[in-house]
Structures are given as C-alpha cells and as structure tokens.
Amino acid sequence: MYRSNTCGALRASDIGSEVILSGWVHKVRDKGFVAWVDLRDRYGITQLVFDQERTSKDLLEKARELGRETVIQAKGEVIERASKNPNIPTGDIEVLVTELTILNNSLLPPFTIEDETDGGEDIRMKYRYLDIRRNPVKNKLIFRHKVTMEVRKYLSDQGFIDIETPYLIKSTPEGARDFLVPSRMNEGQFYALPQSPQTFKQLLMVGGMDKYFQIVKCFRDEDLRADRQPEFTQIDCEMAFVEQEDILNTFEGLTKHLLKEIKGVEVDEFPRMTYDDAMRLYGNDKPDIRFGMQFGELNEVAQHKDFNVFNSAELVVGIAVPGAASYTRKEIDKLVDWVKRPQVGAKGMVYVKCNEDSTYKSSVDKFYDQEDLAKWAEVTGAQPGDLICVLSGNTNETRAQLSALRMELATRLGLRKSDEFAPLWVVDFPLLELDEETGAYHAMHHPFTSPKPGQLELLDTKPGEVKANAYDLVLNGNEIGGGSIRIYDKETQATMFKHLGFTPEEAKAQFGFLMDAFQYGAPPHGGIAFGLDRLVAILGGQETIRDFIAFPKNNSGRDVMIDAPANIDDEQLKELHLKLDL
C-alpha cells in the first residue's frame, strides 16, 4: 500500500506507531546533521525527520536531495516532536523515516506552492493543477463540495428526484447567445448547448415527476466578468401542483439549511420586496440590505429653485452616507470623480454635509437655504454627521448610477461584511421589457413565465404594466436564484409568443414540442434555479466565483491551461461540412 495514514491524521496518540505516508515534498530544511522534510497532501502536512544518529548516511543524503513537489513515500516511526508547532494539527509529532521511496520527481514549479504565492493570476491559471495544491484554492473546492452535498441532502429529503437532461439540444431565440455544435451526421444542422434546462424540466412536470432537481452545467456565449463564466452550474429545480408561496417556502428552507449547516448562521426572516420598490429604494433589482442608505426621491423638495440641473431632470435622488460629513473637500472631489467615470456615467454630484449642530453646508448653497436642505435630510433620513449625495437625470440611468455609488460607499465604510447574511425575495417583476430602439417587447425572464393571475388580458392593452408571476432570491446584493410559475396551457403560451413577436409558424418551429405536450394534461407548475458558483462564493465570503471552480476560463473565455478554444484541422471541418470564412 502507498500509505497507512494521510499527512494530516497523526497525533500524539500515534507515538510509537509505524506508518507509511505518501505525498508531495513541501519544503526541505537541512542543518547538516539533521534534515527535515515537510510532506504535504490534501489533508495536511507531516514533518519527516532524518538525522545522522538514527538514519543511515545514504538515506540522509537522499532526503537532502529532494526537490520541491517531488512525490515520495516514507515509512517510519511516529515520535514526539522536540520543537512542537502549535499552528498545525500534526505539530506534536514527526516521523523518523526508515525507508524513503521517490515515486515521481518534479520540475521546479513556476511559482511557490504556498498560501501566499509569488505567482500571478495568469501563470497560476496556466498551471492550474499546481494552483489547486495551494490551501486557498484546495479549501474552496472542498467548500464547494460541502455546499453541493448539503443541497443534495436537503432536496432529496424533501422528495426531489435528481434527473439528468440533455446537453445537445436545439437553438432557441430567447436569452443570451447560444454555443453551437455542428452535427456530422445531419449535414448543415447544429445542436446548441443549453443555457438552462428550462423546457426539459417543464416536460418532466408533464411527465409526472412532480419534484425534479439537478446540479447541471449551463452555457452562455456572453461577455465575461468576475462572477460570470461561459459554462456555469445551476441548482435547477421544478415542482408541480404549486403556487408561488409553495416555492418560496421550499427554497427559503434550502437557504436556511445551507446557512446553518455551512456557516452556522440562523436566519429567520426573508423579507419580500416588490421589483418596483427595489428599484425606487435601491436602484436595482438585487439590493444589498445588510446596510441602509435607501434612496430618497427629492423632486418635490429640490425642483422649485433656479437650479436648472435639477429642474430639467426626470429624477433627483439622494442617499445619506452615515458619518461621512467629516469627509474633506478632497475626499468628496474623489467621489465626484468616481461617479463621473465611464463605468458609472454620472455628469456630476451634489453633496450636503449635515453638521453636528444641525446646520447644513452644501455644494449648492447659492440656490438652496437651510430650510430647503433640512427637507432633503428628512427625505433621505440623514442625521447630524451624515453626508447626503445627490444625483439627477434620466430615471433609470440615475438610479443605476446612485446604486453603484451606494455599493462603493458601503465597501469603503466596511458595511458589506462577508460574515453577515441578509436574504431577500424580490417579487412582482414586469412580465415584459420594452426595447427602446426597436419598440418591441421581450420577456424579462423567459417566454414561459406566467403573468400574475387576472392580468393576461392586459397584454393586449397595457403590456408594459403586466406583472410576472416571478421571483428572485437575493443574498447580500447578489441574485442567487430566480424562477417563476410557468405557463402550462397551449393557448396562453401562444398568446405570450404572439406578444413577443413570434408568428404562429415560428412558435411552432421553435417550441412546438412544448406546446404539443401542454395538450396532454400538463399540471400547474413552477420552479427556480440557483447559481451554484455564485452561491458558493457568497457563502465562502468572496466576491468572485473563479477560485471556486476547478478549471475556470479567463476573461476572454479561454482555458489557458489546455489552450482552448483551438483551431481544428481541415479534415475535421470537411467531416462537419463546414468552411471557415475569416
């Protein structure tokens, strides 16, 4: 056998035992008459000792020549460590080696395999298999495993059945851009990789599998960022014979279970907030409610003076930043520069310092007196010592800009604490969104989302006012799950397709299989999908998902380790009936 114990298992109670360990050489320390080797595996580090009094000369020399990351097997006796190390679990013991076998030598690694490495991100992604040996990455992958096991346990205990759905499907026009796969056996035709298993899980409900889930890969060919990859993982779930409240209660239960089992945190309250209120109070549909700074709309108290910037604006809105009245003019100027960056896009910012003596000092004192500014403070909830930051302009753009500023200020003030968890349901989304360039409506979520009961008729007269029977679960300012009650009859689905601009022929060509299935006794159903990568990152106290994925892509969608995507040869193109036009 290669090992009797792992490198993290031995304790003082094992002193006197003969053991066999295998792993990677983490470090060698040579003092001439004695050499120590730190042997590492996934479970920890054990110190091996070779000394001239108890070790043969050849064995001591062999130990001295070991290079970092060489794979070895060591046999010996567990002894008490003379100089104990309280920082590691095996710090009370060491192994006096009697036999040493080199299983595989290693080249000098391109970066040090340490918690604090000297390797930059690019080089670590190229040698990801080495990066995984480091504790920060290894522990994140183990953490992800724990989360997924708890998800499976909870859903299985709730009666859900894990069912796989196909990866090779047909391309559909909704959502993001598809990844396409040419078919060799069907000349000129293509599969698509699924953006989600949406239609398949609805078909499973028609099939009578009333509680379905799977932890599944999904694919979207879209621009990348810190929390987005071209291939990502969903916890995909669907239930039959349910209403919205049934789903919210079930998946509140899952979230509570994960917070308790993974983080030791108990959360009782999952507030509900409408989409309209989320946009009005926070400027986005996934608000972080761990802290305040709710928006205060100032049109009524700010558009009555000769300040044309506000008078010409569709929306004047501000937030009260706690304790920030002490900011210097230089610090405030930096905030103004921050909101004027192209990534935010504001033209400027008005500020009001709420002094401790209840007076006010603003950048627009020329236009507004103390009584005016006191009304601003009332609307924004500002207290003495706070700073009011005000933006103005088009409603949607200004809300987005102030939302970005709110999150930036919360980060600077230390209000976004990774060990605090504030879940929130956002409900009553619009069913449709208007494309201002084309004047056409498209589905805010997807075309299978049902309208709120009693609102179907509004599609013909006021389509922009129709609310969706949809819901998002938000955690710490991140959407971790989203879903809806689905349309489950052919007529309603046909009506929805019509309002999305599909002709009957186009709807049948794209989704005829689903509409046909609805004619065979489809039950009322709905579901939700959690973004597993993002959920794991948030539970792990991180903003980015990349380190929680074993082999991630970079921001260009490339796997620099295996050099993918890559060119294919002419013979393969010929088999697929493809020609390149570059």
Half-sphere exposure of residue 144, counting CA atoms within 13 Å on the CB side?
21
DSSP 3-state assignment of 475? strand
CA–CA gap between residue 579 and residue 485 (Å, rounded)? 43
Q: Do you find a cis peptide bond into 89, omega within 30 degrees of 0?
A: no
Burial 495-534 (b: 16+ CB within 10 A, else e): bbbebbebeeeebeebbeebbebbeeebebbbbbbbbbbb
Distance spanning both ends of the chain, measured CA to CA: 55
- Would you write out the chain's pLDDT as a tens digit for each of its 582 residues? 999 999 999 999 999 999 999 999 999 999 989 999 999 999 999 999 999 889 899 999 999 999 999 999 999 999 999 899 999 999 999 999 999 999 999 999 999 999 999 889 999 999 999 999 999 999 999 999 999 999 999 999 999 999 999 999 999 766 688 999 999 999 999 999 999 999 999 999 999 999 999 999 999 998 776 668 999 999 999 999 999 999 999 999 999 999 999 999 999 889 999 999 999 999 999 999 999 999 999 999 999 889 999 999 999 999 999 999 999 999 999 999 999 999 999 999 999 999 999 999 999 999 999 999 999 999 999 999 999 999 999 999 999 999 999 999 999 999 999 999 999 999 999 999 887 777 778 888 889 999 999 888 888 888 889 999 999 999 999 999 999 999 999 999 998 888 888 888 988 988 999 999 999 999 999 999 999 999 999 999 988 899 899 999 998 899 999 999 999 999 999 999 999 988
Exposure class string for 5-28: b at 16+ Cβ within 10 A, else e: bbbbbbeeebeeeebbbbbbbbbb
Nearest residue to 102 via CA among 139, 141, 59: 59
Angstrom distances, CA of residue 407 to CA of 139, 184, 344, 398, 402 = 28, 50, 12, 14, 9
Q: Which two tokens stand for residue 471?
A: 């819901």
pLDDT score at 545: 92
* 446 labelled ligand-binding: no
- Report how far residue 524's alpha carbon sits from residue 489's, in angstroms, rounded to the nearest whole number: 9
Orientation of helix 244-263 relative to helix 135-157, angle to 10°: 140
- Scanning 413-531, the segments in alpha helix (DSSP H) are 458-461, 490-499, 504-517
pLDDT recorded at residue 354: 98
Residue 534 is labelled as binding a ligand: yes
252 annotated as belonging to a binding site for a ligand: no
In the chain, DSSP finds a helix count (H) and a strand count (E) of 17, 22
Residues with Cβ within 8 Å of residue 505, at least 6 apart in sequence: none
Q: Are 318 and 389 in contact (CB under 8 A)?
A: yes
The sheet carrying 478-485 orders its strands as: 161-162, 211-219, 231-240, 525-531, 478-485, 470-475, 423-427, 272-274
Q: Is residue 575 part of an annotated ligand binding site?
A: no
Question: Looking at residue 175, what is its pLDDT?
Answer: 67
229 known member of a binding site: yes
Q: Do 194 and 243 touch, CB atoms closer than 8 A?
A: no
Read off the amino acid at residue 329: R
Q: Is 464 annotated as a binding residue?
A: no
Q: How far apart are CA 12 and CA 14, in angstroms?
A: 5
Query: Does residue 434 have a known ligand-binding role?
Result: no
- DSSP for 13-37 reads GGTT-EEEEEEEEEEEEE-SSEEEE
3-state secondary structure of 138: helix
The torsion of the CA quartet 553, 557, 561, 567, rounded to 10 degrees, works out to 150
Does the annotation place 479 within a ligand binding site? yes
pLDDT at 460: 83
533 is in an annotated binding site: yes
Query: Which H/E stretch holds residue 565?
Result: none
What are phi and psi for residue 548, nearest 5 degrees? -95, 5
Listed residue (114, 108, 112, 106) closest to 134, CA to CA: 114
Is 92 assigned to a binding site? no
pLDDT value of residue 222: 86
- On whether 77 is known to bind a ligand per the annotation, the reply is no
Range 349-366 burial, b when 16+ CB lie within 10 A, else e? bbbbbbeeeeebebbbee
Number of neighbouring beta carbons within 10 Å of residue 451? 24
